[in-house]
Structure 1
Amino acid sequence: MSSPVVHPTAIVGSGAQLGQGVKIGPYCIVGDNVVLRDNVELLSHVSIDGHTVLGADSKVFPFASIGHEPQDRKYHGEASRVEIGERCVIRESATINPGTEGGGMVTRIGNDCLIMAGAHVAHDAILGNNVIMANYVGIAGHCQIGDNVTFGGMCVVHQFTRVGAHAFVGAASMVDGDIIPYGMAVGNRASLTGLNLIGLKRRKFDREAIHHLRAAYRLIFASEGTLRERVEDAAELFKNDPLVQDVVAFIAAASDRPILLPRNGHDVD
C-alpha cells in the first residue's frame, strides 16, 4: 500500500490520522481528531470533523458533511463520536452527525453501507451492516437500524424508532413506529404491509424458513386476542425457528415507539 495522497488545496488537521493508501481530493477539510483508515477516498469538497473514524476502503463523494455538531439543542460540545465501518459509500451532500451525552455519545454505521445523495443520519443513530439509504432518506436521532435494511428514496424515520434486520421501507414513507425484522412498510404514516419476501429470496433464505415466517406473521397480526397473546403463541409454535424468534424478541423488547401494525388485514403476498 502507498502513503496518503493529499491534494494541495485540501486542509488536513495536524492531529488527523491517515492510513495507507488514503486519497484526499481537492478542497476537502479533515479535522484534527479524524481517523481515516486504509484506502479511504474523499473525492472533493468533503468536510469531516469531530471525533470521527471512517473505516477502510470507504469512499465519500463531494459536499458530504460528517462529524459536525449534531442538530440537537441538548448538545453542549461534548466529545461525542461518529464511527463508520469498512467499505461504506457516502454520496453527495449526505450528512452524518455525532452522538450526544443523552444518547450514548456515538453515532455508529456498520460495514458495507450505501448512503445516497442528500441522506441524513442523525445523532446517536445506530445502523447495522449493509444498510441502503436511497436519496434524501432521513434517519432521526436515537434510531436503531438492523443489518440489511433498505430504505426507498425520501423516507423519514421518527426519532427512537427501531427497524429490524432485513426490513424494507418503501419510497416516501414516514415511519413513526418500530418495523419488525423481515417486515415491509409503506406509507405516510407508514403501516406494515407484509414481509420483505423479495429481499429474503434474494438473500437466499431457506424456503421452509420463509414459509414458517409467513405463518407466524399471519398469527401475530391476526385479529383475535391481544398482540401479546399472539406473540406468545407464535413463540411457542415456532420455538425452534430462528427467524420467527427474531421477530418475537424484537416485539418483546422495550421500546420508545409502538410496533408498526398492518392497516388493512394481514396478507403477506
Structure 2
Amino acid sequence: MTNIHSTAVVDPKAQLAADVVVGPYAIVGPNVTVGAGTQILAHTVIDGHTTLGEGNKIGPFASVGGVPQDMKYAGEPTRLVIGDRNTIREFTTIHTGTVQDGGLTSVGNDNWIMAYVHIAHDCHVGNHTVFSSNAQLAGHVHVDDWAIIGGMTGVHQFVRIGAHAMVGGASVLVQDVPSFVIASGDRAVPYGINVEGLRRRGFSADAITALRHAYKLLYKSGLTLDEAKVQIEAFGNAGAPDVFEAVRALLDFLNASTRGIVR
C-alpha cells in the first residue's frame, strides 16, 4: 500500500505505484505518475503533466513539474519525464516543456542532482550526470551522459554539454562544451580532456590518447574547426574500434553544434 503521510495532499487522479512514499506536507498534482520505489520527501511539490520512473528520491522542498518560466507559455499541457534511480535534492526546480520546442523536458536515469539546481523548460538531461549545488540551466539546454556540472554554474539557453564533459564551478557557459572536454571560467574556456573521468569509466589508453590528440587539433594547432574535423576524422577512421568510437562521438557532437564550441 502507498505510504502517504496524513498531512500530504495527493490528488485522487494521480497515479502512484503501490510502494511510493509521500512525506509530510508534500503535494502531488492530478496529472502526475510515479513509479515503484520512489520517495517524495517533506514539502515537495510534484505538479504538471509529470512522469517519474522507479526508485527516485526527491528531496525536501523540491518543485518538480512546475510551469515554464517562459513568457510565451499560455497554459498548454506540456510534459516532464524523469527516468529511474535519480537523486534530486532539496530546493531543486525542474519545469515542464513549451510547445515552441516539442513540449517536453526530460531527465534520464541515475543522475545525481544536488541542492538548488534549476533545470528549465525543454532541457534534456541524459544518464549518470552530476549537477553540483546551484547549477542553473536555462531553457533548451542539452546535457549528455556522464557530464559533470560544477556548483554555481550558469548555462545559457540552447547550449549543449557533451558526454563525459566536465564544467568547473562558478562557470558561465554561452557556447557548447564538446564531449570529453573540461571547461571552466567566466566565460568558460577549455582546459583539456577529462582524462581521469574517462579512466574511471573504462576508456582504453589508446582511446584517451586519441582524444587528447583530437583536442590538440581543435585547440592548439591553429587549424580552423572544419580543418581540424577533417584531420580528426582521418586518424579516428584508422584507429582500433574503441578509438574510432570515441573519436566518432566527438565528431558527432562537433557536427551537431549550432552555437559554436568553447574556445
1:238: Cα distance to partner?
A: 1.4
Q: Is it true that 1:260 corresponds to 2:262 in the alignment?
A: yes
Letter in 2 for 1:185: A
3-state SS of 2:234 partner: helix
Contact 2:160–2:257 (CA under 8 A) maintained in structure 1:
no
Aligned counterpart, 1:16: 14
What pairs with 1:23-42 in structure 2 (closer than 5 Å)?
23-42=21-40
3-state SS of 1:20 partner: coil
Contact 2:176–2:257 (CA under 8 A) maintained in structure 1:
no
Which segment is superposed worse, 117-126 or 215-224? 215-224
1:192: Cα distance to partner?
A: 1.0
What pairs with 1:109-258 in structure 2 (closer than 5 Å)?
109-239=107-237, 240=239, 241-255=244-258, 257-258=259-260
Determine the C-alpha separation between the residues in 2 that align with 1:119 and 1:260: 23
Letter in 2 for 1:250: F
* Residue of structure 1 aligned with 2:64, choices 63, 66, 75: 66
Aligned counterpart, 2:43: 45
Count of residues paired in the alignment? 258
Query: TM-score with structure 1 length normalisation?
Result: 0.94
Determine the C-alpha separation between the residues in 2 that align with 1:162 and 1:225: 23
Contact 2:46–2:63 (CA under 8 A) maintained in structure 1:
yes
Determine the C-alpha separation between the residues in 1 that align with 2:99 and 2:81: 16
CA-to-aligned-CA distance 1:172-207 (integer Å, 9 cap, x gap):
001111010001000011011111111111112111
Determine the C-alpha separation between the residues in 2 that align with 1:146 and 1:199: 14
1:223: Cα distance to partner?
A: 3.7
Percent identity between matched residues is 43
Letter in 2 for 1:122: A
3-state SS of 1:213 partner: helix
Determine the C-alpha separation between the residues in 2 that align with 1:60 and 1:254: 33
Contact 2:57–2:86 (CA under 8 A) maintained in structure 1:
yes
3-state SS of 1:238 partner: helix
Q: Is it true that 1:101 corresponds to 2:99 in the alignment?
A: yes
Which segment is superposed worse, 200-209 or 140-149? 200-209
1:43: Cα distance to partner?
A: 1.4
Letter in 2 for 1:249: D
Q: 1:34 to 1:95 in 2, by over 3 A?
A: same
1:139: Cα distance to partner?
A: 0.9
Letter in 2 for 1:53: T
Determine the C-alpha separation between the residues in 1 that align with 2:152 and 2:257: 28
1:254: Cα distance to partner?
A: 4.6
Determine the C-alpha separation between the residues in 2 that align with 1:243 and 1:168: 16
Contact 2:168–2:185 (CA under 8 A) maintained in structure 1:
yes
Determine the C-alpha separation between the residues in 2 that align with 1:259 and 1:43: 39
Which segment is superposed worse, 203-212 or 245-254? 245-254
1:217: Cα distance to partner?
A: 1.3
Determine the C-alpha separation between the residues in 2 that align with 1:146 and 1:69: 24
Determine the C-alpha separation between the residues in 1 that align with 2:222 and 2:145: 32
Determine the C-alpha separation between the residues in 2 that align with 1:148 and 1:167: 7
Determine the C-alpha separation between the residues in 2 that align with 1:64 and 1:147: 23
Determine the C-alpha separation between the residues in 1 that align with 2:223 and 2:151: 36
Determine the C-alpha separation between the residues in 2 that align with 1:183 and 1:122: 24
Determine the C-alpha separation between the residues in 1 that align with 2:121 and 2:21: 27
Query: TM-score with structure 2 length normalisation?
Result: 0.96
1:41: Cα distance to partner?
A: 0.5
Aligned counterpart, 1:265: none
Determine the C-alpha separation between the residues in 2 that align with 1:214 and 1:15: 53
